[in-house]
Chain A
Amino acid sequence: DAGVIQSPRHEVTEMGQEVTLRCKPISGHDYLFWYRQTMMRGLELLIYFNNNVPIDDSGMPEDRFSAKMPNASFSTLKIQPSEPRDSAVYFCASSQGADEKLFFGSGTQLSVL
């Protein structure tokens, strides 16, 4: 398996623009997680899905953030409108079960100017 695949690897955009991050989890994994990592706040859980259903989105910073998982092999994290404080590395991770280890994608480095 190719592992968790994220795109793009780098995204530079201007404040106010819409940003869409994409993730393909490992086949057969029932759980998908979106994290954001910054120097100040570390690795923060934004939202996670179980069998394509959002379970906990309490970590989503505000209404500008939304996430979807239309099928078992694809998820998106959208920021609209983007702001400079959204600049961070966004990781997608998947696991087979609720208490299982996570496999991380390579991350998306987002810079909002």
Chain B
Amino acid sequence: QKEVEQNSGPLSVPEGAIASLNCTYSDRGSQSFFWYRQYSGKSPELIMFIYSNGDKEDGRFTAQLNKASQYVSLLIRDSQPSDSATYLCAVNNNDMRFGAGTRLTVKP
């Protein structure tokens, strides 16, 4: 079983729609959870982090964490073509492990 799993994608949404990205993890001791965005040919950059159960909002982005279900999600509201990228879920328990990523395309 992979340590961090993401919905395989690719995911395509129209401009202005909500994009929903999901992630599950296997290590119940994990303490912190991150979403990174990676444009093609670039390095990952942090979008959101969440430590506690519930929702955390930052502009158009909302991260959701459910530790009992070992589930993390990222919602992108009012999706823009510039949001088109690969989104990486990362889980930290003394080291940072990444999922395989979900490629998102936002069509104008």
Contact = CB atoms under 8 A, between A and B. Distances in A.
Contacts of A103: 46
Nearest to A41: B100
Given A33-B95, A48-B95, A42 B100 contact: yes
B98 A98 contact: no
A45 B96 contact: yes
Nearest to B3: A45
B43 A105 contact: yes
Nearest to B97: A45
Chain A's interface size range is 20 to 34
Chain B's interface size range is 20 to 34
- Dominant secondary structure of chain A at its interface with chain B: strand
A42 B101 CA distance: 7
B80 interface: no
A87 interface: no
B1 interface: no
B43 A104 contact: yes
B20 interface: no
A43 B44 contact: yes
A52 B34 CA distance: 24
A77 interface: no
A93 B32 CA distance: 17
Contact of A106 (B43, B96, B101): B43
B2 to A, nearest CB: 9
29 contacts: A33-B95, A35-B98, A42-B98, A42-B100, A43-B44, A43-B88, A43-B98, A43-B101, A45-B98, A48-B95, A56-B95, A91-B43, A98-B94, A99-B31, A99-B32, A99-B51, A101-B34, A102-B34, A102-B36, A102-B44, A102-B46, A102-B90, A102-B96, A104-B43, A104-B45, A105-B43, A106-B42, A106-B43, A107-B43
Interface of A: 33, 35, 42-43, 45, 48, 55-56, 91, 93, 95, 98-99, 101-107
Interface of B: 31-32, 34, 36, 42-46, 49, 51, 88, 90, 92, 94-101
Q: Which 3 A-B pairs have the closest CB atoms?
A: A104-B43, A42-B100, A43-B98
